[in-house]
Chain A
């Protein structure tokens, strides 16, 4: 999806901020909040507004885990890889998500329904292993639960042995 929408949205957000460098991260957060990701043209517009080099913006965007450069899916899946979750099998849950969605972390399914990512710790370690689905932390997500969650989005697991 090219140009005008992205630029209009970016301009609108920029108008709420003064053109100062310390506003860079809040601006990026607001733009990503609106568009779901940071398209190249938006980053260029931000650089122009703050009068800094586009590569400076890019450097900040790629330094932080929060920012993404490609459009997200309709639903977002974030698997916690924190200590408690890891010890309780977070990596196994991640495997299951990868298997079922057919993508790796930081990718989006070809039908743009789901994107998959990992997160350092969502702070509900007592519910480990945790996966955050559309912003909601889900407790004790093992492979069976992965299938259950996907089913609730209308995605059937691959058929079990045909009788």
Chain B
């Protein structure tokens, strides 16, 4: 069979997209509002409305566009204004009032309002730019390249920024060549285990049977991870393009995107993107005029963590409860409806077009020898620059947390970083110089997982952290294996006792033994990795466990049963009653001398009073154990 050259069809598309886009934008000021879920939570839709109203009021011809996430989530709501003659400027912490001013002063006038500028997108003489940020030196954006900068609801914008050009290139090659290129690039799956993508595709291609399926795993069940969501909301066409190339290489006839229903905006933007790609004949039959066809169906997952596991996901797609099954046979050989099936993570697929466009050697040249490419993390917790970052594999944790993430807020001390969610672990300060890649993290007891990185400071309790994850895995265990079903329950009970101050030292040994057994005796990685948060916290923070057990004390002052709130009588200012108004349950009242006292019976330990006490008095403290509170 002689391959049909897809290039002319693509060129035609690109010209059409370019022309449409020029009509929309050329010579105009364009306002882009970061309206991914994170932006919306911070009020982006109000900002969007304010811009639209103001633009309309002045009868301006400025498109106001909803874009995705730029990664600088700490500064949401975020807006980029591209005005002819100026470098595009990003504004942070925007609210409707600022929006109004930006229209009046920057768009109508010529004052860029430097007081609201986060950074310009390109170096210039007037305003600071992102390139001046220290993090610019360490970041390397490959799959996040378009995020926050293109209109995810407009395929033309995507095509104008290089979208689908790698598909056109790939379709001119025999599938085997693409697999060879991906194998040469060393691309490892970003869904958790780091399995080589090319090898999986090859196995599917070689397997007997048609049809074959390709599934994009967008379940992202790890709490604390949000990269897949942000990617789907910011650059859905990049994922679809990756699926098309992967499907072509692996010989798939049908594609599915399994996206969790808790991501309604990702679902909405994917639906739009799929419809547009269909209109442009980029999915469906005879893609770009070639003999290759792939339908893509969107399937909404119904919220069960275990459904991220590929065999459970496949069961769920078939309308069954999401129970994992024993592998082998691997899905690449026997998957959906018993047919060969490739399951790849969103990020894995996002790399594919970049590798096809730039070549395997380019990709191999980035990152670590056995883990080429970049690592993308969702930074959350006690870190100044929460958001999404992309750095070459092999970057150290210290770089990511301190140089890219700007360290720990409020002058607090770093305590640990939790990587890889419930299957991962908590790494202490001594691990900060660890270069991040699949293998080094595994050696330290964590895993790359789906890219969640939650930073903990001195106020976070590691025993509570372990208890939290066990509560999660206990709840999410599908219940098929006894070890997982009962073991997680038992471990949770022990950990809960610790946080209640009711543990015994002997429990530590039981806990360790159980952890080993659950890890060894479970069928799928949910059960096999469930002990990881316990094992790493025991390994690095054992003294914290011991303090809970022997002294009934939570050194981080977090475990609610082991702390009490107390007002220092000599610091409390009599004429003030800020805390009285703040208390959510009326547990604070003045004593005879008008000094405020907390009634321990009523106090629910919600912590609202503590920041309410004015800093010049700073009279409220947490004490642990609660017996530290002086009796009157």
A interface with B by C-beta (< 8 Å): 20-26, 28-29, 59-60, 63-67, 81-89, 92, 95-96, 99, 119-128, 130, 135-139, 142-144, 147, 160-161
Contacts and interface: CB of A to CB of B under 8 A. Distances in A.
Given A21-B318, A83-B224, A144-B584, A124 B41 contact: yes
Given A84-B381, A126-B380, A121 B41 contact: no
Interface string B438-462: 0000000000000010101000100
Contacts of A125: 224-226, 378, 380-381, 386, 452, 454
Contact of B386 (A23, A29, A126, A161): A126
A142 B606 CA distance: 9
Contacts of B40: 124, 136-137
B60 interface: no
B10 interface: no
A124 B584 CA distance: 26
Nearest to A81: B223
Contact of B303 (A24, A65, A82, A84): A65
Interface string B588-629: 010000000000000011111000000000000000000000
B468 A86 contact: yes
A145 to B, nearest CB: 10
B608 A88 contact: no
A83 B220 contact: no
Interface in B213-262: 220-226, 229-230, 261-262
Contact of B302 (A23, A67, A88, A136): A67
Contacts of A28: 302
Nearest to A161: B586
B575 to A, nearest CB: 17
Contacts of B342: none
A26 B300 contact: yes
A59 B380 CA distance: 36
B322 interface: yes
A143 B41 contact: no
B369 interface: no
B465 to A, nearest CB: 8
Contacts, number: 160
B317 to A, nearest CB: 7
A81 B303 CA distance: 14
A130 B41 contact: yes
Nearest to A50: B319
Nearest to B469: A83
Interface in B451-482: 452, 454, 456, 460, 465, 468-469, 472, 478
Contact of B584 (A26, A29, A138, A143): A143
B321 A63 contact: yes
A88 B381 contact: yes
B606 A25 contact: no
Contacts of B605: 92
B379 to A, nearest CB: 8
B418 interface: yes
Nearest to A52: B319
Contacts of B37: 122-124, 137
Contact of A124 (B38, B220, B452): B38
Contact of B582 (A82, A119, A122, A144): A144
B468 A63 contact: no
B454 A87 contact: yes
Contacts of B316: 25
B305 interface: yes
Nearest to A141: B41
B418 A83 contact: yes
A128 B38 CA distance: 10
A87 B38 contact: no
A60 B223 contact: no
A22 B262 contact: no
A25 B302 contact: yes
Max chain B C-beta neighbours (<10 A), residue from A21, A63, A96, A124: A124
Given A22-B317, A63-B304, A83-B421, A121 B222 contact: yes
A20 to B, nearest CB: 8
A136 to B, nearest CB: 7
A124 to B, nearest CB: 4
Interface string B120-153: 0000000000000000000000000000000000
A21 B454 CA distance: 39
A64 B302 contact: yes
A38 to B, nearest CB: 11
Contacts of B468: 83, 86
Given A125-B226, A137-B41, A120 B262 contact: yes
